[in-house]
Structure 1
């Protein structure tokens, strides 16, 4: 039968989620079962492992990165200069890859969104030097600015 968790140093009764003993001040990774002397399986640690796997898991950040790339591929054509298909596709996929490499879901969504927001401005600047894209046109800057403002405000709201 498992008894109450105890401090491994002074054997004072502690919570199974405690990281230090309130009796002697000893820091410990987990409480010790008084009967067996082994660490008590900590429910809080299991929850922390699960939260870490969800929040810091690469598969979840990869999913967000994939979604950022899809959103970019669908929306960027409305905000980029003409004849920039290859560049806008590279910007959308690059934003998705950048989002997928983040450590958490929140960072993936916010940083990927900000990368996507900057993309039409970079593409407009790039169109100034790429032949066949129309050159300098401030009329094409308006949709790029509007896109950047809307997408960056959404990304900042996530952060």
Structure 2
């Protein structure tokens, strides 16, 4: 296959792919198994007789694709390793890390009344940011950030149990404050977790291992 028209095409979306492609740069479909079955002469490239057909949504040698069975994957708007995706991943990671560090510092400062809370918040910010910006896709970064923010928000009610604050009414008063604080953070924590869950649905399947 010497021309662009004779290049193999992705069995999932029908877009052209490279002669030795193991995944589709357009829809992120994993084509490793298809390449192995289509490489009849074992030269590491798609063979003309074994390569997927252009624009048909079907594999010529491995049966019908997900398009023919009704299990289509949503089209990926951003390439997992593209410049835009990588930039957005870093931005999301930094913002998520700041929120985690800031909320964590406030909670710990109130609980302990110690200046070490600021040091803890700084470490939490660096750790969370380093983890989030290393996600392969922006969807993965948004998902993990959403979950992390939800967790630190749900730690806020624990402030009611801190001996560093004075609460009228003894145990009952602290229990009431705990409930009030929980109700205060429940909605934003739920929204944050929901955003994380929705974003996780759009993480490409072949990026799942790197998003864990």
Q: What is the TM-score with the length of structure 1 in the denominator?
A: 0.54
- Which of residues 141, 145, 155 is equivalent to 2:182? 141
Root mean square deviation, CA, Å: 4.5
Q: Please show how residues 1-150 of structure 1 align to structure 2 within 5 Å.
A: 4=2, 15=7, 17-19=18-20, 20=35, 25-30=40-45, 51-54=79-82, 60-70=88-98, 83=110, 86=117, 90=121, 93=125, 95-125=128-158, 127-129=160-162, 131-132=164-165, 135-136=174-175, 137=177, 138-150=179-191
CA distance in structure 1 between the partners assigned to 2:146 and 2:180 by the alignment: 24
Give the Cα separation in 1 of the matches to 2:181 and 2:39.
69
User: Against the structure 1 CA distance between its residues 52 and 107, is the aligned structure 2 distance closer, same or farther, given a 3 Å change threshold?
Assistant: closer
Using a 3 Å threshold, how does the CA distance of structure 1 residues 24 and 30 change in structure 2: closer, same or farther? closer
Give, in angstroms, the shift of residue 83 of structure 1: 4.0
Structure 2: 5+ residue runs without aligned partners?
9-17, 21-34, 48-77, 168-173, 201-212
Counterpart CA distance in 2 for 1:22 and 1:106 is 31
Whether contact under 8 Å (2:132, 2:141) holds in the other structure is yes
Cα contact 1:127–1:133 (8 A) shared by 2: no
Classify 1:108/1:140 alpha carbon distance in 2 versus 1 (closer, same or farther; 3 Å). same
**Which structure would you say has the larger Rg?**
1
Matched pairs, number: 128
Question: Which residue of 2 is the match for residue 153 of structure 1?
Answer: 194
Alpha-carbon distance change, 109 to 122 in structure 1, aligned in 2, over 3 angstroms: same
